[in-house]
Amino acid sequence: MTTSLKRKRTVDPAAQKVLAETDAAGIETAYDRHDEQEPRCGFGELGICCRICEMGPCRISPFDKGPKRGICGATAATIAARHLIRQVAAGAAAHSDHGHDIVNTLLHTAKGTAKGTAQGFAIKSPERLYELAAEWGISTEKKSVEEIAREMADLALKEFTNQEGEIRYPTLRAPKATVDRWRRLGIIPVGIEHEIVETLHRTHEGVDADYKNLIMHGLRTAMGDGWAGSMLATDFGDVLFGTPEAVRSQVNLGVLKKDEVNIVVHGHEPTLSEMVVAASRDPELIKLAKEKGAKGILVGGICCTANEILMRQGAPVVGNFLHQELAVATGAVDVMLVDVQCIMPALVEHAQRFHTKVITTSKKAKIPGATHIQFDEHTAYDTAKEIVKIAVENFPNRGPVNIPDEKTDLVAGFTVRNTFTHLGGRYRATFRPLNDAIISGRLRGVAAVIGCNNVKKTQDESHLAMVRELIAHDVLVVMTGCAATACAKAGLLQPEAAAKWAGKGLQEICEAVGIPPVLHLGSCVDNSRVLVALCEMIREGGLGQELADLPIAGAAPEAMCEKAIVIGFYCVASGAYVNYSPAMRVLGSSELTKFLTEDIEEVTGGKFSFEGDPIKAARLMIAHIDKKREALKLRPMMYAPVTPDITK
Ligand code: XCC
Ligand code: SF4
């Protein structure tokens, strides 16, 4: 309410309106708490504060004078690398534990202990299950769908706990040259959990002090996320909840309804939110809502839960990370239902100023002051109904309601298969048209722009600027997470966006195929879809032998959490160029910074940059794509880039 007025907090007009209201009412948000934290501790920002052992905390002076080593002798590079890979491990754990829960839910569903369909869960895509079984080499002969699912789920659970060998997907899916490189480097994980445990061991006081060795293990740990934990979350999620199909929906605070019960699901796991969507259609509950004076029941999402139910149910998206408090501040949210990850504890106190009930549902994520209703897959549908009922009964308690008008149409639901079924014509799922477009210079390449909102930056601004710059240069953009929501709000996820902002080559493709220039691939665990798409591009031929050869790049321009760090790490491990901003906390060590942003390219074929200006970062990504095009001796680009008109 004070200093935050001095800076631009968001480019989203809906958010601007709500923030004006919260300012006027003296209601605090994350932006105010951000300003309260200034000035930050410089040691922390630079990554040269160590609090790993009880002799510390130790800090390294970035100046000529002052200590250059911690008490144990750890240098800036050691300290920053240790803390960084601990963040990688935490991110890998978050995604992988989520994957674990999905595999477990499939197992319970297949065992019938989830009371079968009575409790809502069913194997919605047996086709995807059969496909995976074939890929994994599991015989399906004379087995029921449930038997296959049980067998696959048991095998998948072993990916978490294996203590020797290699996780399954790298060799099944990645090109041979990439697998060879990984084996040479020794970065194929033996099991997801093993690498996380080893990270914690190596970074304990007095163990690994070699920053390069630490980072190599960080890459291995991250591979266990991208090529196992997240990939299993996506694949088994598709089996259980259905493989997404292109779907139309709407996004932004304006999707909330003044005259309906509004339930906002926020967090990450699709298990409960899928059930809540189903329960909101229950005639008994709709009848109750009408008795309470509401016209119906709306379920909308925030953060990746939003992306999950958008992809599979077409549910509207209320907003991304920095919208969580703003949604409540509209006064129109009857229940904010949360599970795990990206949930601000501040929500509970914030909600007390309105009528909103905050309900936590995971034993792993409780917040003091919230109502806790434990979710259990065995009683999933009953729990979902109970929660919907609470929301309905809370509807008459609303105070003043102020919902901004803004809502934007979007198309989402792209997957590796359906995108390229589009590109290849209805009956031919092939990457040939994509590869040909790149080879001929109609398309420059592909960029994945992913990740969060970060209150240190103007909400959505970097996502929009970067993505517009990329598509203007004929780079097809794929997105996930809160980044996708940012661009959806600005209309970039509509087919019409191509004519407005894309370069001529990309425009031609979008028009021919009827896709937007920016493709929504789902939640953050669905970044695994990007990895699979890259593998398919190599398999199709003409774009090199290994993933590192591809004219592609990635970025997280408003990165916020450890999950964004681990995604960056598995992309670099997979040979990608990744711009990550704000910079990881390594800048206090010039050696470590140089390793991550330069020398590592010799090792994995990928590298990081930490450019904070989104346009400059986009240009770096384009330069990297052009470098790869040159190495592949691809044809010159057909068309000059257009200048994106940001006023449109
Ligand atoms: Fe969280 Fe996934 Fe980041 Fe958004 S993008 S702030 S992680 S919800 Ni995943
Ligand atoms: Fe200090 Fe070393 Fe302990 Fe870190 S591990 S707190 S640098 S003594």
**Number of helices (H), then strands (E), in the chain:** 28, 16
Which ligand has the nearest atom to the CA of 73? Answer: 2
Give the amino acid at 603. V
Of 3, 88, 84, nearest to 50 by C-alpha is: 84
pLDDT by residue (tens digit) across 22-35? Answer: 999 999 999 999 99
- The answer, yes or no, to whether residue 2 has pLDDT greater than 70, is no
pLDDT of the residue at 645? 61
- The answer, yes or no, to whether residue 644 has pLDDT greater than 80, is no
Which phi and psi angles does 475 have, rounded to 5°? -100, 120
Enter the DSSP assignment of 632. Answer: T
Of 562, 560, 577, 569, nearest to 625 by C-alpha is: 577
CA atoms within 13 A on the CB side of 257: 16
Taking residues 568-591, what's their average pLDDT?
98
Q: What angle do CA 302, 306, 311 make, to 5 degrees?
A: 160
Which residues, including other chains, have CB under 8 Å from residue 647's CB and lie 6 or more apart? none
d(CA 9, CA 23): 12
Ligand 1 center from residue 454 Cα (angstroms): 10
Exposure b/e, 373-383, CB count within 10 A at least 16 = b: eebebebbbbb
Give the amino acid at 36. E
Q: Retrieve residue 490's tokens.
A: 């600005």
pLDDT by residue (tens digit) across 452-470? Answer: 999 999 999 999 999 999 9
pLDDT of the residue at 114? 46
Ligand 1 center from residue 270 Cα (angstroms): 14
* Ligand 1 within 6 A of CB of 524: yes
Nearest atom (ligand 2) to Cα of 73: 2
pLDDT of the residue at 300? 98
pLDDT by residue (tens digit) across 358-383? Answer: 999 999 999 999 999 999 888 999 99
* Ligand 1 within 6 A of CB of 306: no
Q: Retrieve residue 523's tokens.
A: 């939640």
d(CA 498, CA 26): 41
pLDDT of the residue at 628? 98
112 vs 4: which has the higher pLDDT: 112
Ligand 2 center from residue 54 Cα (angstroms): 8
- Residue keyed to tokens 């250059």: 68
Ligand 2 center from residue 90 Cα (angstroms): 20
Ligand 2 center from residue 204 Cα (angstroms): 9
- The answer, yes or no, to whether residue 113 has pLDDT greater than 80, is no
Give the helix ranges, DSSP H, for 292-353: 303-313, 324-329, 346-351
pLDDT by residue (tens digit) across 151-171? Answer: 999 999 999 999 999 999 999
Which phi and psi angles does 75 have, rounded to 5°? -90, 175
Ligand 2 center from residue 81 Cα (angstroms): 13
pLDDT of the residue at 647? 55
Of 336, 261, 259, 254, nearest to 297 by C-alpha is: 261
Confidence class of residue 115 from pLDDT cuts 50, 70 and 90? very low
Query: Which residue's alpha carbon is nearest to atom 8 within ligand 1?
Result: 303
Which ligand has the nearest atom to the CA of 74? Answer: 2
pLDDT of the residue at 643? 81
pLDDT of the residue at 548? 98
436 vs 421: which has the higher pLDDT: 436
CA 141 from chain center: how many Å?
37
pLDDT by residue (tens digit) across 501-539? Answer: 999 999 999 998 889 999 999 999 999 999 999 999 999
pLDDT by residue (tens digit) across 264-295? Answer: 999 999 989 999 999 999 999 999 999 999 99
Q: DSSP per residue over 442-498, as a string?
A: SS-EEEEE-----TTS-BTHHHHHHHHHHHHTTEEEEE-HHHHHHHHHTTTTSTTHH
8 Å CB contact between 615 and 107:
no
Ligand 2 center from residue 586 Cα (angstroms): 16
- The answer, yes or no, to whether residue 120 has pLDDT greater than 80, is no
CA atoms within 13 A on the CB side of 575: 26
Q: Where are the beta strands (DSSP E) in 2-143?
A: 49-50, 58-59
Query: Which residue's alpha carbon is nearest to atom 4 within ligand 2?
Result: 50
Ligand 1 center from residue 141 Cα (angstroms): 40
pLDDT of the residue at 4? 47
Ligand 1 center from residue 186 Cα (angstroms): 30
8 Å CB contact between 391 and 297:
yes
Choose one of 325, 526, 563 to mutate for the ligand 1 pocket test, by most ligand atoms within 8 angstroms of C-beta: 563
Which ligand has the nearest atom to the CA of 69? Answer: 2
pLDDT by residue (tens digit) across 218-248? Answer: 999 999 999 999 999 999 999 999 999 999 9
Q: Retrieve residue 302's tokens.
A: 């925030």
Nearest atom (ligand 2) to Cα of 74: 7
Q: Distance of CA 250 to CAs 280, 301, 450, 490, 493, Å?
A: 18, 11, 20, 11, 10
* Ligand 1 within 6 A of CB of 244: no
Burial classification of residue 428, based on how many CB atoms lie within 10 Å of its CB (0-12 exposed, 13-18 middle, 19 or more buried): exposed
* Ligand 2 within 6 A of CB of 209: no
pLDDT by residue (tens digit) across 169-226? Answer: 999 999 999 999 999 999 999 999 999 999 999 999 999 999 999 999 999 999 999 9
Nearest atom (ligand 1) to Cα of 321: 6
